[in-house]
Amino acid sequence: MGMYNLIEDNVDKFYTQAESVIGECESLVELQHKMAEHVQLLAGSSDSECWEEALHELWQEYWSKYI
């Protein structure tokens, strides 16, 4: 497995984890706090710079289904 594939797999793991806990979080800040523990999975990716913004988009998309 090349370095690019490893980085891509780790990014996928990060967002899969976020999707699995998003429904348990009462706020975007809580989601960001939980996911801060896993931010090392984004090392080497462009998402490492803007993961909080990406989680904001995920948050909006998830909760828009329930509004």
Give the pLDDT confidence of 3-26 residue by residue, as tens digits.
889 999 999 999 999 999 999 999
pTM, two decimal places: 0.91
Give the pLDDT confidence of 35-63 residue by residue, as tens digits.
999 999 999 999 999 999 999 999 999 99
b/e burial code for range 21-52 (CB count within 10 A of at least 16 → b): ebeebeebeebbebbeebeebbeeeebeeebe
| Residue 65, both tokens | 């289904």
Residue type at position 35: M
pLDDT band at 67 (very low <50, low <70, confident <90, very high): confident
- Domain that residue 8 falls in: 3-64
Q: What is the DSSP letter of 67?
A: -
Residue type at position 46: S
Domain count for the chain: 1
